[in-house]
């Protein structure tokens, strides 16, 4: 029986984490479980930054980006000694179970706690949307809408000045933000880690589009796009620098580059992220209330589900390449 839970956010923050924290705290109380905050992820767990929460401590946060519990990375938690200290702190505070809101790394940490006999549940929160099994992670929808808003604005100036714009978005190993904002924003090319590309082919596409009367173009690039080994990339360059330089040189079109950076992490969560966060967190608490542990909650085919966390972490997230093919068709006509 679970009497007291701790909730933490860890790794990269994502809009909607607060909505998840709010639901964890309030549904814990609903189930007769005492909610405790663990501040600064595993770093704070090791240091005993653990405090009781009440329904009021999560008032007025549903609309806020970031995480009121703060987030941190912890090298110490990567070691058995660090984890032993963390478990000691949990025991000292009589915490029976921990709800971990975060990404892949945070979930690997949660699995280590599971091995040490602590009950855990993972709630996927990462703008990269790179957790398998669940279709969407908390924060992705807000981030992709922020990226799309930027694409719309940049398109205005791209159109006025008849330029090519290269827009780099986040995603070190994942092309989700680039693909979704690219398809929704009418990009002419989308360059992502999951699909190899040749820049001479991108240039040919731009020239063909130009011949059909298009006077400006948008190229979306994920920060983790592989780059084109044939196109003379300097090792320190981001892939978007390579794209912009290559396109300008090869086509002669005036080309500009924008790196969106951390604006993609912040901001008020969208309705989708708030709903997803609330529904996932509720299901996480239901599972814990039933004594279930070692799981991750998520949404698949519009239903809230759960999977064993070790299973979910062993799967590779598959990007739906239909989106990619559709974007290519729309750009080439
Ligand atoms: P994210 O959850 O966004 O992927 P990180 O990869 O930075 O973020 O992971 C967050 C924290 O989780 C790390 O700082 C570390 O403390 C913990 N962590 C990550 N991987 C492991 C692991 N294999 N074992 C134990 N702890 C881990």
State in Å: Cα 106 to ligand 1 middle.
Answer: 4
The pTM assigned to this predicted structure is: 0.97
Report the nearest atom of ligand 1 relative to the CA of 43: 16
Average per-residue pLDDT in the chain?
96
Structural domains of the chain, ranges and CATH numbers in brackets? 4-139+269-314 (3.40.50.450), 142-265 (3.40.50.460)
Nearest CA to ligand 1 atom 3: 11
CB 219 within 8 A of CB 187: yes
Distance between CA 164 and CA 212 in Å, rounded?
15
Please give the distance of CA 301 from its chain centroid, rounded to a whole number: 19
Q: What is the pLDDT of residue 45?
A: 98
CB 107 within 8 A of CB 309: yes
Sheet of 164-169, strand order: 189-191, 217-222, 164-169, 255-259
Distance between CA 29 and CA 23 in Å, rounded?
10
- Using one digit for the tens of pLDDT, what is the confidence trace for 83-107? 999 999 999 999 999 999 999 999 9
Q: What is the pLDDT of residue 72?
A: 94
Distance between CA 299 and CA 28 in Å, rounded?
21
Q: What is the pLDDT of residue 76?
A: 98
State in Å: Cα 114 to ligand 1 middle.
Answer: 14
The three-state DSSP-derived secondary structure of the chain is: CCCEEEEEECCCCCCCHHHHHHHHHHHHHHCCCEEEEECCHHHHHHHCCEEECCHHHHCCCCCCCCCCCCCCCCCHHHCHHHHHHHHHHHHHCCCCEEEEEECHHHHHHHHHHHHCCCEEEEEEECCCCCCCCCCCCECHHHHHHHHHHHHHHHHHHHHHHCCEEEEEECCCCCCHHHHHHHHHCCCCEEECCCCCCCHHHHHHHHHHHHHCCCCCEEEEEECCCCCCHHHCCCCCCCHHHHHHHHHHHHHCCCEEEEECHHHHCCCCCCHHHHHHHHHHHHHHHHHHHCCCCCEEEEEECCEEEEEEHHHHHHCCCCCCHHHHHHHHHHHHC
Q: What is the pLDDT of residue 235?
A: 59
* Percentage of the chain modeled with pLDDT above 70: 99
Mention every residue, 6+ apart, whose C-beta is less than 8 A from residue 107.
100, 122, 124, 131, 296, 309, 312, 313
Nearest CA to ligand 1 atom 27: 109
pLDDT-based confidence at 194, cuts 50/70/90? very high
State in Å: Cα 163 to ligand 1 middle.
Answer: 41
Flag whether pLDDT at 73 surpasses 70. Answer: yes
- Using one digit for the tens of pLDDT, what is the confidence trace for 233-287? 655 678 899 999 999 999 999 999 999 999 999 999 999 999 999 999 999 999 9
Distance between CA 173 and CA 166 in Å, rounded?
19
Catalytic residue list contains 301: no
Distance between CA 295 and CA 280 in Å, rounded?
12
Nearest CA to ligand 1 atom 19: 105
From 46, 82, 105, give the residue whose CB has the most ligand 1 atoms within 8 Å, as the site to mutate: 105
State in Å: Cα 301 to ligand 1 middle.
Answer: 28
Q: What is the pLDDT of residue 233?
A: 62
- Using one digit for the tens of pLDDT, what is the confidence trace for 16-39? 999 999 999 999 999 999 999 999
**What mean pLDDT is predicted for residues 125-137?**
98
* Percentage of the chain modeled with pLDDT above 90: 95
What's the burial of 31, exposed, middle or buried (CB within 10 Å: 0-12/13-18/19+)?
Answer: middle
Which one from 114, 128, 188, 228 is the annotated catalytic residue? Answer: 128
């Amino acid at each position: 029986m679970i009497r007291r839970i701790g909730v933490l956010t860890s790794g990269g923050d994502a809009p909607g984490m607060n909505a998840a924290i709010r639901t964890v705290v309030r549904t814990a109380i609903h189930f007769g479980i005492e909610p405790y905050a663990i501040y600064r992820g595993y770093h704070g767990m090791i240091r005993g930054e653990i405090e009781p929460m009440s329904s009021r401590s999560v008032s007025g946060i549903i609309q806020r980006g970031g995480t009121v519990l703060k987030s941190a990375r912890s090298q110490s938690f990567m070691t058995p000694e660090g984890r032993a200290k963390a478990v000691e702190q949990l025991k000292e505070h009589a915490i029976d179970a921990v709800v971990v809101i975060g990404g892949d790394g945070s979930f690997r940490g949660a699995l280590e706690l599971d091995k040490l006999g602590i009950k855990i549940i993972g709630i996927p929160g990462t703008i990269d949307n790179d957790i398998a099994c669940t279709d969407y992670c908390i924060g992705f929808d807000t981030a992709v809408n922020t990226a799309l808003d930027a694409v719309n604005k940049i398109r205005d100036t791209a159109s006025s000045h008849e330029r090519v714009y290269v827009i780099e978005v986040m995603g070190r190993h994942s092309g989700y933000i680039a693909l979704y904002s690219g398809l929704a924003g009418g990009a002419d090319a989308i360059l992502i880690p999951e699909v190899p590309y040749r820049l001479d082919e991108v240039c040919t596409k731009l020239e063909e589009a130009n011949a059909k009367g298009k006077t400006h173009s948008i190229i979306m690039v994920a920060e983790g796009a592989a780059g084109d080994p044939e196109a003379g990339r300097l090792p320190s360059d981001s892939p978007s620098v390579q794209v912009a330089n290559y396109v300008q040189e090869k086509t002669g079109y005036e080309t500009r580059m924008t790196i969106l950076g951390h604006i993609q992490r912040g901001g008020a969560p969208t309705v989708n992220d708030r709903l997803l966060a609330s529904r996932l967190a509720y299901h996480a608490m239901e599972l814990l209330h039933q004594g279930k542990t070692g799981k991750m909650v998520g949404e698949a085919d519009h239903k809230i589900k759960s999977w064993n966390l070790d299973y979910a972490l062993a799967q590779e997230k598959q990007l739906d390449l239909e989106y990619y093919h559709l974007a290519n068709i729309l750009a080439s006509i």
